[in-house]
Amino acid sequence: MFKNIDLFEARKNGYHVYRIPGIIVTKRNVVVATTEARTKGGGDWDPNDVLMRRSFDAGNTFQERQLIVDHKNYGEGPISNFVLISDRTSGRVIALYCYKYSRVFTMFSDDDCNTFSEPVEITDTFNQFHQDYDWRVCATGPGHGIQLENGRMIVPVWLSDGSGSEMGKGNLGHRPSIITSIYSDDCGMTWNRGDIICRNKDIVNQQVLINPNETIAVQLSDSSVMFNIRSESEIQRRLIAISHDGATNWKIKGFDNSLLEPICMASILKSNQKKIDASQEIIFINPDTLEDTMRGDRKKNDGSKGMSRDRKNLTAKCSQDDGETWPISKIIEPGFSGYSDLAQLESGEFLCLYECGIVDRICDDKYIRLTIFDKQWLKE
């Protein structure tokens, strides 16, 4: 099975563009799809809202959009990096998000995201990082967080000192950057900081790590946690780090030669379907390309040639050995395609929500599209 449905379209319903998809399936099998609804030119620092659509029939049809975080309740500036986690025991859904990349809030829903609690600020958790790193810009996720088998909730985080300019607009930059995590052992009621995992200009396998940022997480079969990290390093591969608890004693495994890095968010998920030997497959999705046909002449702030690549050829890869190898690969979207997030229904079908198409330029995406596929399609 393989089918598509477009959930959000640029230049419609009062917004310029929709970006940064997020998707989960709740304990009661309700599909919840979210997006940043961006005004003005569609940039990261625009006064963005967060919208949601829900499905009660396995993603076949969706309710009308709901505004779940309105930037006007906070002031002028973006609401961004919306992260959802569904508690497997209670069914409660925990949400985290940032305001102006400097304050972080959380809220929860006990009715499959129909309504949410009043937001609570948890920026104090992030302020603990000042002991080790003088950050001025912070971001959760984006994409879904994870819940470990022991109940712990994990959200990858990137921080920046803000010294890199943001496209000449006077906003604090998202570079240089570091990677860490926050975690909760009480179903999202309180949050704690994890260890810093890696920093800009760290040396990894004789390669210089450049601006590690948007990171995705998955729990492995031995209960350890793997972070799969985006960066701007010249090797152009995804960086892998592993921790026994998702918070401390991180070990940098190195760059995965099988996973290309066009400098774009990716998504990852461990299947809820167990094989005969009780192991579970891992699905990884990103634009699987290093072609550079649209931005090759773009210059970095230091005058050097930019390393970004085209965002297209969104591809699902499957690993049967905890991410050691990725022998199965299927193209979801051959054309323009960028950020994605991944969820799974109780029946086993996968749901990939992603940016695709283009209006005027890179990051000016035409649609937020949902693709539903099953294991048979993936392995054909």
Q: Residue 89 in contact with residue 151, Cβ under 8 Å? A: yes
Stretch (H or E) spanning 125: helix 123-127
Position 362 in a domain? no
pLDDT at 380 (0 to 100):
83
Number of alpha helices (DSSP H) and beta strands (DSSP E) in the chain: 2, 27
Q: What is the pLDDT of residue 279?
A: 80
d(CA 97, CA 298): 31
With H, G, I as helix, E, B as strand and everything else as coil, classify residue 127. Answer: helix
Q: Is residue 239 part of a domain?
A: yes
The strand pairing partners of 53, in sequence order, are 33
The pTM assigned to this predicted structure is 0.95
Count CB atoms within 10 A of the CB of residue 200. Answer: 21
366 touches 351 (CB < 8 A): no
Residue 302 lies in a domain: no
Q: What Å distances lie between residue 263 and 42, 46, 53, CA to CA? A: 19, 22, 28
Tell me if 327 is assigned to some domain.
no
Provide, rounded to the nearest whole percent, the portion of the chain with pLDDT above 70. 95
Tokens of 192: 């704690």
The SS3 assignment for 63 reads coil
C-alpha 163/C-alpha 122 separation (Å) is 24
pLDDT at residue 275, rounded to an integer:
80
Q: How many domains does the chain have?
A: 1
Residue 21 lies in a domain: yes
Ranges of residues in the chain with a pLDDT under 50 are 167-168, 297-306
Rounded Cα distance, 115 and 32, in Å: 12
Given the structure tokens 């050691």, which residue do they identify? 324
Q: CA 116 to CA 165: how far, in whole Å?
A: 35
Starting at the edge strand that comes first in sequence, how are the strands of the sheet with 93-99 ordered?
79-86, 93-99, 103-109, 120-121
pLDDT for 148 equals: 98
How open is the CA angle 136-139-143, to the nearest 5 degrees? 170
Q: Is 281 a member of any domain?
A: no
Q: Are 95 and 84 in contact (CB under 8 A)?
A: yes
* CATH number, domain with residue 219: 2.120.10.10
Alpha carbons 341 and 143: distance in angstroms, whole number: 6
Helix (H, G, I), strand (E, B) or coil at 377: helix
Give me the pLDDT at residue 297, please. 47
- The answer to the question of residue 198 being in a domain is yes
Q: State how far the alpha carbon of 162 is from the alpha carbons of 65, 128, 175, 229, in Å.
A: 34, 17, 6, 20
Task: Report strand pairing: 267-274 vs 251-260.
Answer: unpaired
Nearest to 248 by CA among 178, 195, 192: 195
Q: Which residues pair with 17 in a beta bridge?
A: 38
Torsion angle (degrees, nearest 10) of CA 58, 23, 267, 250 = -120
Q: Is the dihedral of CA 65, 66, 67, 69 positive or negative?
A: negative
The pLDDT, as a whole number, for residue 231 is 97
Which residues form the domain of 236?
2-264+367-379
| C-alpha to C-alpha distance for 247 and 353, rounded to whole angstroms | 27
Q: What is the pLDDT of residue 198?
A: 98
| Cα–Cα dist 126/222, whole Å | 29
Q: Is residue 247 part of a domain?
A: yes
Q: How many CB atoms lie within 10 A of CB 4?
A: 14
